[in-house]
């Protein structure tokens, strides 16, 4: 793994947002990546050096996404947010931007989205929820569904396309 350190440091340095570098530096992410890779080495299925680099990069990207979510959540001003709809998973937007008309529109959009999701087959609905709401990686989605990460990505792409079709159906005002 030491031979990969420079490459991973370069990738992390380029991808990490400047305002987050003070919270989690590239070397920290690489070290955590090595820790995860060592712990999960039995999950590596590749055979080439390139596949190993790709596997390590994937682990690091997952770590980086977790850091971004964590530190962005710490930086947000929760007092300026309000829930969109009690029937949906928690989604927040700045309360100051919501006129009564906009609130009604958001409730209607939320209802239409729930109805369109409900019309999708379970296999498509699940992948949308896991990716879009739970923010799972395609690797984790694939593991959970018993399919490859590529198949999970393709299923998500198909699901999003199908959801767009459902939202355009007559009666949805789209």
Q: What is the model's pLDDT at position 80?
A: 47
Q: Is the pLDDT of residue 154 over 90?
A: yes
Mean pLDDT on 99-114: 76
In a domain, 162, yes or no: yes
In a domain, 41, yes or no: yes
Cα–Cα dist 69/71, whole Å? 6
Q: Is the pLDDT of residue 159 over 50?
A: yes
Co-location of 71 and 100 in the same domain: no
Name the domain count of the chain.
2
Co-location of 69 and 123 in the same domain: no
Co-location of 68 and 10 in the same domain: yes
Burial of 75 (0-12, 13-18, 19+ CB in 10 A): exposed
Q: Between 73 and 135, whose confidence is greater?
A: 135
Residue 17 exposure: Cα atoms within 13 Å on the Cβ side:
10
Q: Between 79 and 99, whose confidence is greater?
A: 99
Residue 101 burial (CB count, 10 A)? 8
Angle between helices 100-119 and 149-168 (to 10 degrees): 120
Q: What is the model's pLDDT at position 42?
A: 86
Q: What is the pTM of this model?
A: 0.43
SS3 state of residue 92:
strand
Q: Is the pLDDT of residue 86 over 90?
A: no
Q: What is the model's pLDDT at position 98?
A: 60
In a domain, 91, yes or no: no
- At 128, which CATH number? 1.10.10.10
Q: Is the pLDDT of residue 27 over 90?
A: no
In a domain, 174, yes or no: no
User: Domain of 150?
Assistant: 96-168
In a domain, 59, yes or no: yes
Q: Is the pLDDT of residue 121 over 60?
A: yes
Co-location of 27 and 57 in the same domain: yes
């Amino acid at each position: 793994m030491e031979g990969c350190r420079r490459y991973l440091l370069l990738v992390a340095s380029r991808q990490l947002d400047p305002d987050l570098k003070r919270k989690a530096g590239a070397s920290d992410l690489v070290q955590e990546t090595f820790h995860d890779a060592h712990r999960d080495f039995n999950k590596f299925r590749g055979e080439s050096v390139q596949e190993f680099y790709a596997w390590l990069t994937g682990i690091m990207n997952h770590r980086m996404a977790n850091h971004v979510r964590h530190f962005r959540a710490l930086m947000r001003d929760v007092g300026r947010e309000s829930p969109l709809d009690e029937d949906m998973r928690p989604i927040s937007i700045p309360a100051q931007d919501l006129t009564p008309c906009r609130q009604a529109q958001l409730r209607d959009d939320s209802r239409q989205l729930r109805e369109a999701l409900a019309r999708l087959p379970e296999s498509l609905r699940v992948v949308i929820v896991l990716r879009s709401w739970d923010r799972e990686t395609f690797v984790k989605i694939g593991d959970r569904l018993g399919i490859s990460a590529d198949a999970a990505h393709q299923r998500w792409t198909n699901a999003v396309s199908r959801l767009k079709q459902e939202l355009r159906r007559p009666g949805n005002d789209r």
